Homo-oligomer: A and B are copies of this chain.
Amino acid sequence: MIFENLFRRNNAPAAMVLLTRKEKWRIALNKFAGKMIGLLFVVIAIKMIPGLLGSSSAHAQPYAGYTQHETDGINTSNTIWTLVAAFLVFGMQPGFTFLEAGFARKRESVNILAECIFDTCICGLLFYAVGYAFMFGQGNGFIGFGGGALAGGDGHNWFFLQNTPATYGATGIPILAHWIFQYAFADTTSTVTSGAMIGRCGFRGDILYSICVTGFIYPIIGHWAWGPDGWLACMGSAGAAGDYNPGNLPGVHNGTIFRFLPSLGQGFRDFAGSTVVHTIGGIVSLAGAIVLGPRLGRVFKRDGGGMPPANNLVVAAVGGFMLWFGWYGFNPGSTLSAVDMQGIGRVAANTTLAACGGGIIAMYMGLWFGSTKGKFDVGLATNGFLAGLVAITCPCFWVSPTGAIIIGAIAGVVVYLGIELLEYLRIDDPIGAVPVHGFCGMWGTWSLGLFGTGEYICSGPTGPTLADPANKIDGVRGLFYGGDASVLKAQLIGNLTVVIATLVVSLIMFYIINALPHPWKLRVEKEGEEQGLDLFEHGVSAYVLED
């Protein structure tokens, strides 16, 4: 077939045809997308020859008080931990795919498979090309670019993973191990995003917004909270001690860190991404659902309808369990340190208990108040434990197991109310991405301001930094544990800033994409939606059971 096609292409004369405006746009954008991808590879090829990945294999300096061999052993353990965690986080992709494909209607489930695969692949290329540099490179409070005194290495940019130092900052983790760990996080955001847009978003529209979200929106807003000089990370700290280049090292960026609200005394904290991953993903998804409007024929509860039933609850529920499994990379891996043994144990236990609390409570909310009152709703139970997992993602390091249960249980209420709220507002979110990831990401971020026990500060490669009451060094202490409101304030400022920024930027992005002509328009053609996205965009059905 391909051989014949190639042949015909070279010889057959082009027929004269009249193209409509829409068709011209289609051709032009198709070519544009092709060219962009081609361009990417050209750029890659250009970049490839000279300065490959700096394999600075010289031994890093030993940690203070440790021998070189001990330092190597510490870094080895921490690298094993980070990589295994990265693999587990990647292992969430089969889970997400099952969850989304199972909860949707059958006619749109192949489309979900295609999106999950495409998003995962394009996210890898973009996080390599620009995302990692934007997010984890040093730059200014609002965007990163590359090396510097804070991030390690010299002042060159890190695009296409060039010029990177051997290890990320002071973590002792090889930069490519840190990259794949963070790639898996970026990919999670990307997959969350598609959730609330299922069933009426054209595939070319998905391509466009995926490029924007994973290449730009996620890493740039993520830089605020997780970048070495992000303005939310550095919020609430005073003085010049954190200057980029206090020693005026040659070849190193000069400049000072943007210090917002130095009087607050607390930076914004998000241990494993309730805000950075889940709130961003959920809010982008909300914006998409708003711009798209509901699926054709979707009748809401207040209009006498309800969510269409899941086409395959078995894979949906198992997908949820696979996500829970992958979360053990997400949260415990975010220490980047296994030497903080107490820390990784505590994070793993808290993650478990929050999920348990969320699952039980959401099931009971459905039983007592839900639309099928008196029945045990499996979909709600699944979204309930996921809600608990999302909520504990931010505070998991700093709270106690008991706190984790309560945070998770409240998330089980939040997800139930959130689903009802969207239904009331006539926003169509087929899998509950907005309540689970958006609303519970917000709740989880805030909850640190209430439940932080005040005992823990942070993990480092050689172990944790803990509160030291004798010397009046306090940990992250929330209101319920005798702390003042400063942690809660910092969490609210950080999270709400991210919510607003994400909502505004992604509404603009989606309105623009939705203004493009078909097939690039965000919302698929009416006939495509009527026959189902699977047949229209992919030419197949999910199940062919008669053969």
Chain multiplicity (copies): 3
Question: Is the Cβ of B93 less than 8 Å from the Cβ of A203?
Answer: no
Contacting A338 at CB < 8 Å: which of B5, B80, B180, B183? B80
A48 in the interface (beta carbon within 8 A):
yes
Q: Knowing A2-B420, A371-B1, A381-B118, say if A543 contacts B83 (CB, 8 Å).
A: no
Among B310, B363, B402, which residue has its beta carbon within 8 angstroms of that of A52?
B402
Let me know if A57 is at the binding interface, CB within 8 A. Answer: yes
Interface residues of A in 54-88 (CB under 8 A from B): 55, 57, 66, 69-70, 72-77, 79-81, 83-84, 86-88
Q: Is the pair B420, A1 in contact by a Cβ cutoff of 8 Å?
A: yes
Asked if A175 is at the interface (CB within 8 A of a chain B CB), the reply is yes
Interchain CA distance A5-B539 in the complex, whole Å: 44
Which of A100-108, A143-151, A226-234, A241-249 lies at the interface with chain B?
A100-108
Task: Tell me whether chain A's interface is mostly helix, strand or loop, or mixed.
Answer: helix
In the complex, what's the smallest C-beta–C-beta distance from A116 to chain B, in angstroms?
Answer: 7
**Is A341's CB within 8 Å of the partner chain B?**
yes
Asked if A344 contacts B308 (CB within 8 A), the reply is no
A401 nearest CB across to chain B (Å): 5
Give the distance to chain B from A204, nearest Cβ to Cβ, in Å: 9
Q: A7 in the interface, Cβ–Cβ < 8 Å?
A: no
Find out whether the CB atom of B101 lies under 8 angstroms from the CB atom of A314: yes
Q: Does A22 contact B (CB under 8 A)?
A: no
Task: Check if B539 sits within 8 Å of A105, measured CB to CB.
Answer: no
Q: Do B86 and A84 have beta carbons less than 8 Å apart?
A: no
Identify which of residues 386-440 in chain A touch chain B, using a CB-to-CB cut-off of 8 Å: 400-403, 405-406, 409, 416-417, 420, 423-424
**Across the interface, do B542 and A5 meet the contact criterion of CB distance under 8 Å?**
no
Point out the residue from B83, B420, B540 that lies within 8 Å of A313, measured CB to CB: B540
A21: Cβ under 8 A from any B Cβ: no
Instruction: Please tell me if the beta carbons of B53 and A346 are within 8 angstroms of each other in the complex.
Output: yes
Compute how far the CA of A6 lies from the CA of B447 in the bound complex, rounded to whole angstroms. 25
Contacts of A402 in B (CB 8 A): 44, 47-48, 52, 160-161
Q: Does A91 contact B (CB under 8 A)?
A: yes
Shortest Cβ distance from residue A525 to the other chain B in the assembled complex, whole angstroms: 13
Residues of chain B within 8 A (CB-CB) of A83 are 328, 332, 344-345, 348
User: In the bound complex, do residue B90 and residue A405 qualify as a contact, i.e. CB atoms below 8 Å apart?
Assistant: no
Are B385 and A348 in contact, CB atoms less than 8 angstroms apart?
Answer: no
A98 sits at the interface (CB 8 A): yes
A: contact size bracket: 35 or more
A218 interfacial contact with B, CB 8 Å:
no
Bound state CA distance, A180 and B344, in angstroms?
A: 11
A401's partner among B176, B325, B368 (CB-CB below 8 A) is B176
Contacts of A98 in B (CB 8 A): 314, 318
Contact status B1-A176, CB under 8 Å: no
Mark interface residues in A522-545 (1 if CB within 8 Å of B CB, else 0). 000000000000000111111111
Which residues of B lie under 8 Å from residue A48 when comparing CB positions? 400, 402-403, 406, 480
Stretch of A121-129, A496-504, A509-517 that contacts chain B:
A121-129
Minimal Cβ-Cβ distance residue in B for A126: B356
A106-144 CB contacts (< 8 Å) to partner B: 106-107, 109-110, 113-114, 116-118, 120-125, 128
Q: Is B44 touching A302 in the complex (CB atoms < 8 A)?
A: no
| Residue in B closest to A69 when the chains form the complex, CB atoms | B70
- A547-B175 CB under 8 A given contacts A79-B338, A125-B353: no
Task: Known A176-B401, A325-B94, A360-B121; judge A311-B544 contact (CB<8 A).
Answer: yes
Contact, CB under 8 Å: B345 / A79: yes
Residues of B within 8 A of A371 (CB): 1
Spot the interface stretch: A11-19, A261-269, A372-380, A487-495. Answer: A372-380
Contacts A1-B424, A90-B325, A309-B541 aside, 9 further interface pairs with beta carbons under 8 A come to A44-B405, A55-B455, A87-B328, A94-B321, A106-B544, A117-B359, A117-B382, A125-B353, A125-B405
Question: What are 20 of the A-B contact pairs (CB < 8 Å)?
Answer: A1-B420, A48-B400, A49-B480, A57-B464, A69-B70, A77-B80, A80-B338, A87-B325, A87-B329, A98-B314, A106-B546, A106-B547, A117-B317, A118-B360, A128-B401, A180-B345, A309-B547, A310-B544, A312-B542, A379-B540
